[in-house]
Chain A
Amino acid sequence: MKKGFTKIIIGQLFLFLNIHFFIDWLPDPIGFFLIHSGIKELSKRWNLGSNAIIVKNLAITFAFLSIPSVFISRTTDQEIFHMFLFTQVYLIIMNIAFLIFIFYLFHFLFDIAKRAEEQNLLKNSIRLFYLSFIVWLIIGTTQSFVWNIQEGWLVMTLSILYMVNIVLQILFILLLFSYRKTPDGWLEAKM
């Protein structure tokens, strides 16, 4: 379990942290690739179900899809008026891509927790899933309103949502650590 999940955790860190200095120094493509690699590793030992395969494929696809994001930094202020239409459409597509990825990544984790019959782990995972998914969804829909509403309350709401999202991402990484700690034996017995 350890090696596979270590890769997944590091991959998720690359996705979560974006240190922008002309380019993204913790590039998302590498993050996706590491997650893909981590799941592949785990799949070598165990059959982890259909969700695992889906996430693995999504990860490698998004690894390529997210290459432009290395050069684009996401902003929410008036700058958006001056970005090219292509850039704006791309950011929306990446938004949706992350939503899909969150969905299937969590379901992959549910499968593992179910197999290992870890009720607590499963419950926590499900809870975090709903929170993360809904917050990301709200961010995705609310962002588009910035085009048309410049009032302070919208920007403030978005800022709060971003902060909540950061907290949820941290919780997610901690959750991944719990999965990493799950003794291999628990999965073995069910195979």
Chain B
Amino acid sequence: MKKGLLWIGIIGIIISNIGNYLYYQSQQLEHPIFLKHFYSHSFYQNDEYSFPFFYLTNKANPKKIKYIVADNVAAYPNNQTTQDLVSNTSDIHPVDEYNHQYLLSDYISFSYDSIPFDEDGTWSFQEISVYFTDGDYITTDIGKVVFKDKMENDNSEAIDFTISESNSDGLGKFKGYTTESLQIEKIETLLDEKLKNDIDLRINGQKVSLSNNEEIGSANLKEDDLIEIQWKIDSLSNAFEVELYLIGTTETGKPFVTPTFVSSQPTIDQKKVNELIKEGDKQ
């Protein structure tokens, strides 16, 4: 019949395979890409705490964190059981799955003893070096993590927080009761500059902004009053776990600082992943 048909067929198969292969290669990450994390935590003596760090890694060659170094301090993942190369995909439990990548998370633990607190009792880092189990390593902006040395007794029992709810859309709620008459004067976090534009915070319905200078005048509460804190975090592609300090004075004149926290697990879609891949290529 027509040999042209045969040639069209052969060339068609070749072109579609080459095209798909090239696209596939262009979508592979050279190194894993970390999301941005905003974490703060107050450490007691001998305390140990771990945070999850989220990163995208190729499905074809998924990597696991061996350890990280932040500001000359090494920190290790929690599950140190099989730290060898990931040979079998069934070892992986991804947070999410995309066309060519997985979103993985590793809990990295920090212990009070290893933290070099500054004079003001805090320690923070924004960049870490990550060493993977296959020998690869990167240095990357991780967001901002702040640790605080909890030294003082803050009369934190002024408010008793009982119920917390949070869901995956960046919304959350805390409910608590005052143990005596008090007035909330301000709300602070260790990450005010990073957080204040991304979070919508309300106490008993009243919108509050995170800022050291603004005072919340009307939060005058009696004993056993309900305090409901609602928050909404806008940037869903970041991870948050930030301590929130409610600061004020009780009726009897005692100051108090009651901690609670807001948290949000990152969720990203394929579109965001494609953006991150493009940004990653530019570096």
Chain A positions within 8 Å of B, measured between CB atoms, are 78, 81-82, 92, 95-96, 99-100, 103, 107, 110, 126, 129, 133, 137, 140-142, 144-145, 147-150
Looking across the interface, which residue of chain B has its beta carbon closest to that of A106?
Answer: B1
Closest to B12 in A: A141
Contacts of B125 on A, CB cut-off 8 Å? Answer: none
In contact, A99 and B1 (Cβ under 8 angstroms): no
**How many interface residues does chain B have, given as a range?**
20 to 34
CB neighbours of B21 from chain A (8 A): 144, 147
C-beta contact mask, B218-256 vs A, less than 8 Å → 1, else 0? 000000000000000000000000000000000000000
- Give the complex CA separation of A133 and B5 in angstroms: 9
A144 touches B59 (CB 8 A): no
Rounded to whole angstroms, the CA-CA distance of A103 and B10 in the bound complex is 11
B24 to A148, Cβ gap below 8 A?
A: yes
The one of B9, B99, B100 in contact with A137, judged by C-beta atoms closer than 8 angstroms, is B9
Collect the chain B residues with CB atoms within 8 Å of residue A126's CB: 1
Task: Evaluate contact between B99 and A150: CB separation under 8 angstroms.
Answer: yes
User: Within 8 Å of chain A (Cβ to Cβ): is B16?
Assistant: yes
Given A99-B9, A148-B27, list of 6 further CB < 8 A pairs?
Answer: A78-B59, A96-B13, A141-B12, A144-B13, A148-B24, A148-B100
Contacting residue for B17 out of A78, A92, A100, A107, CB 8 A: A92
Report whether over half of chain B's contact residues are helix, strand or loop; otherwise say mixed: helix
Could you pull out 17 A-B pairs where Cβ atoms are within 8 angstroms? A78-B59, A78-B89, A81-B60, A92-B17, A96-B10, A96-B13, A100-B6, A129-B1, A133-B9, A140-B9, A140-B12, A141-B12, A141-B16, A144-B13, A144-B19, A144-B21, A149-B99
- Give min CB distance, B218 to chain A, whole Å: 53
Contacts of A99 in B (CB 8 A): 6, 9-10, 13
B60 proximity list for chain A (CB < 8 A): 81-82
**Closest approach, in angstroms, between the C-beta of B49 and any C-beta of chain A?**
36
B residues apposed to A, CB below 8 Å: 1, 5-6, 9-10, 12-14, 16-17, 19-21, 23-24, 27, 59-60, 89, 99-100
Nearest 9 CB-CB pairs, A to B? A141-B16, A140-B13, A144-B20, A144-B17, A147-B24, A137-B9, A103-B6, A144-B16, A81-B60
Residues of B within 8 A of A95 (CB): 13
CA distance A133 to B4 in the complex (A): 13
- Smallest beta-carbon distance A154→chain B, Å: 11
8 Å CB contact of B13 from A82, A141, A149:
A141
Q: How far is the CB of B228 from chain A (nearest CB, A)?
A: 42
Contacts of A150 in B (CB 8 A): 99
- Complex CA gap A103/B1 in Å reads 9
Find out whether the CB atom of B13 lies under 8 angstroms from the CB atom of A92.
Answer: yes
Task: Please name all residues of chain A whose beta carbon is closer than 8 Å to the beta carbon of B17 when the two chains form the complex.
Answer: 92, 141, 144
Residues of B contacting A100 with CB < 8 Å? Answer: 6, 10
Q: Are A107 and B1 in contact (CB under 8 A)?
A: yes
Contact (Cβ within 8 A) B20 A147: yes
> How long is the Cα–Cα vector from A147 to B89 in the complex, in angstroms?
17
Establish whether residues B99 and A148, one from each chain, have CB atoms under 8 Å apart when the complex forms: yes
Which residues of B are found within 8 Å of A82, using beta-carbon distances? 60
- Inter-chain CA distance A24–B215, complex, in Å, is 78
Contacts of A129 in B (CB 8 A): 1
